[in-house]
Every structure is written in structure tokens, then in C-alpha cells.
A = this chain, B = another copy of it.
Amino acid sequence: MTGQGPEAVAERHHEGAPVVPQHLSTSAFGTDHPIGVAVLGMGNVGTEVVKILREHAEEMRQRVGAPLVLRGVAVRRTGVDRGIPAELLTTDAEALVGREDVDLVVEVMGGIDPARALIGAALRAGKSVVTANKALLADYTGELAAAAERSRADLYFEAAVAGAIPVVRPLIQSLSGDRVDRVVGIVNGTTNFILSAMAETGADYHATLAEATRLGYAEADPTADVEGYDAAAKAAILASLAFHTRVTAADVYREGIARISAEDLETAAAVGCTVKLLAICERIPGELSVAEGGKDRVSVRVYPALIPLKHPLSSVDGAFNAVVVEAENAGRLMFYGQGAGGAPTASAVMGDLVMAARNKFYGGRAPGESVYAELPIAPFGDTPTRYHVNLQVADRTGVLQAVAGEFADHGVSISTVRQEGHGAGARLVVVTHHAQESALADTVAALAELESVTSVTSVLRLEGTEE
């Protein structure tokens, strides 16, 4: 249809036939004209995407309106039998992306380089991109979204957060008429598997990590997962969408799970809680930030925390993921499902791919990056949190008074104190109300210096309470 004037377009439109707006088509898309797809990477996810494209071609054609045709797959090494025709495989990803007959690019290779350059090249050429690359998006969404904007291409990334679970699209589209106050998620399957197993077996962190590695739930180098980098990248993406503000991985406060002990999980169970690695994206209302002129601020953080067993995230076990979104009008929503794995992630990729292909075919675009709100990032110390502190103390009169005094001196209000044991085993368990993170941290540091406090045996944050 390229080259037809507006009249011809208008005519077809009155017949109810698919119309491709002039400016969107660089090649001519008709009902039988295929839409070419390049897949970059053939790991777990890429393999599943290729399989679906080949085995469900007719279904995809029906859903798009035109055939989706796999033009090629970029891999590190050819010559390995991957169950698809050898001529589809190439090590030259750049040439594949640049092919005239490639309209859509699926990036599932991961890592920053060369994914960043390849996606950039595709977008600059007006080719829509579907990516599952959270690390890349957490740092370079701005650059990639700008490239997409310039060429009117789409950048889709549902698969980058929480695998098969639709959470990116609901935040961008379904909640586009609401005000999101908080997003709290379990978005890393490895750490959730480890914490669930520790809670169940009573084993310590290192033994459980070893078991998770043996079972394939943790990678040989588990750093990105257990230190919270993976969750932090996803938190940055979620916060950007939720608050219409550009948030990068560097804006996310991050603690991993390596310091969580078997005793922490016992403590949790004793107080009707469990420990989860949470990605928390929170709007701090302007009235709490006079220094910022009353503008709302954004807090984004990843750390292991106690959550009450009655909280919906507490029962999300093993490799499952879940994301809770709290919005002004919608109230509390929860999205639950498989957050990783080849097939679930491929489901999210394919959903994006069908939408990107429909946009190519019918015209139209996915919503681009929305960062108009430009909310400032609150320093972690300003974040309101609650602490659950276990202290080993001297068994004598006045200890409680001294400990309570430290909390009061730092302006931290105590919710409950429990005294346990006697003699050398005497302990105090203190749960605070919400207070500024910095005040809580300072209080704990001061407690450690108290003569009557033998040791601070555990400090855990408490999330998901109504108080």
C-alpha cells in the first residue's frame, strides 16, 4: 500500500480492511506479506520463542493478521544442532538486525554489550524490539526509549520483570488513569527458593545455597541473584513505570540475603512472620518532605524483610514471583505466577511480539516512556521503615530503661518489647513503629555501644504491616 494517497487509505478504511498509516510502513504490509522476526540469543528463552514461532505459526498469523516469519537467530556458535535449519543460525547479530526483511527484533541474549548496540541499531532503523533484558533496561531505558520515539518504533519489555506475570503492561496501561502509591514484589526466584527452603528445613544460608545450585535454582556464580542486583534492576524498572519517573539501578538501595541466618527465620516464625527478599517502590508523600518543597519523592529499595504471614506475599514460595501494587483508586492488586524459566518468559516475549507485530501491521504504537513526573529519589536514610531488633542483654534491672532510652533519644517510637530468658541468655526483642531509616540505623549503632547490651544479634526490617 505504500505510495497510495490518503484517499486510497480512506477508502480501504471505510471497507473495514486493515489500514497501514503512511508514516508507519517502510515496507509494504499486506495480509499475506510476512512480518520478519530476528531472535538474538538462543538460551532457555530464545529456544522457547523459536519453538513457538515455528510450531504455532498459524495461531500467530491469526492473532497478528499477517504471518510472523523467523528470519534468523543470532547465536554465539553455529555448528551445534539446535533442532532448527542451520541456515537460520548466524553469529553475525548485527547483520541479522540490519536485514531488510527483518521488521521485529527479539533480544533474549542478556547482558549490556552487545545487546545495547544491537537494540539501538534496530530501533534507529524503525524496527520494534521486544527484550527481556532487565539489567540493560534498568540503566539504559532512557536512551533506548528515545531511539524508539524518534523512529516511531516500539520497545516492549514485559518479560524483563517477573517472567510470565503481566505486570509491566498493567502498570503502563491498566493503571495509567490511577496513582500508584506502592509496588512491593518478590521478583527473584533464586533468593525466594533459598529463603523458602531455609524456612522449611531450618538449614543455614550456605548449605541452602549449595542445594539450590545443585538443583539448578541458582547459577554457578549466584552473585546477581543473592546480592539483590537482579531484584534491584527489576525494582528500577517497576518504579519508573509506577511513578512516571526515570529510576535507574543506581537509585536503588540494595541488600542481599547472604546475611540471613537460620536464627532469623526462627525469629520470624516465632512472631508470625516470614522473611522475603522484597523489591519495594514507594511514593513518599510530599508532606513528609518539606525540604523538597512538598513534592512527592520516590523510595526504591531491595532487602530481605519480615512480612506477616497474613500478607499475601508471605505464601509466595519457591521459584514463584508475585507483585503487589497499591494504587489510590484500584486499592491493592496482586499478580502471581512463574517469574523465570524458558517457557514462562517466552510467553511474555510472545505477547509483546504479537502486539508489536500488530502495530506494524495495523499502525499504532505502544505507549512510550513516561517520565513526566520527575519525582526526586529520596535518600535511603529518609525512607520510613520499621525495625525488628534482637538484643542479647545483661540480666539486671534498668536494662529495658537504658534500651528504651536510646530509642527515645533518636525519636524512634517502640511498638512492642519482649523480654526473654534469664542470666547469660537474657534477650530483648524490640519492634518499632515506622521511623526514618537513618534514625533506626543510628539507634541500633548506639544500642551496640550500651554497656548493658551484650550484642545485637539480629536486625530485620518489617514490611507489609498496616501501622
Contact = CB atoms under 8 A, between A and B. Distances in A.
Interface of A: 5-6, 9-10, 13-14, 16, 19, 21-24, 48, 52, 56, 59-60, 62-63, 149-150, 152, 158, 164-166, 169-170, 173-179, 244, 312, 315, 327-338, 343-344, 346-355, 358-359, 362-365, 367, 370, 372-373
A230 to B, nearest CB: 20
Looking at A62, A332, A333, A359, which has the most chain B CB atoms within 10 Å of its CB? A333
Given A22-B6, A174-B158, A336 B351 contact: no
A343 B312 CA distance: 22
A412 to B, nearest CB: 34
A62 B373 contact: yes
Looking at A52, A164, A343, A373, which has the most chain B CB atoms within 10 Å of its CB? A164
Looking at A19, A63, A174, which has the most chain B CB atoms within 10 Å of its CB? A174
Nearest to A372: B62
Contact of A63 (B56, B176, B312, B315): B176
Nearest to A354: B176
B362 A362 contact: no
A330 B338 contact: yes
A86 to B, nearest CB: 26
B338 A335 contact: no
Contact of A23 (B10, B59, B173, B333): B10
A99 B355 CA distance: 33
B350 A165 contact: no
A166 B174 contact: yes
Contacts of A6: 5-6, 22-23
B363 A21 contact: yes
B48 A22 contact: no
12 contacts: A6-B6, A21-B24, A62-B372, A63-B176, A166-B173, A329-B344, A330-B344, A332-B337, A333-B335, A336-B336, A362-B364, A364-B365
Given A338-B331, A344-B330, A364 B353 contact: no
B349 A177 contact: yes
Nearest to A7: B22
B16 A23 contact: no
A363 B16 CA distance: 16
Given A175-B347, A178-B350, 16 more contacts: A10-B23, A13-B152, A14-B150, A22-B22, A59-B179, A63-B372, A166-B170, A166-B174, A169-B174, A174-B351, A177-B352, A329-B346, A330-B347, A331-B343, A363-B363, A363-B365
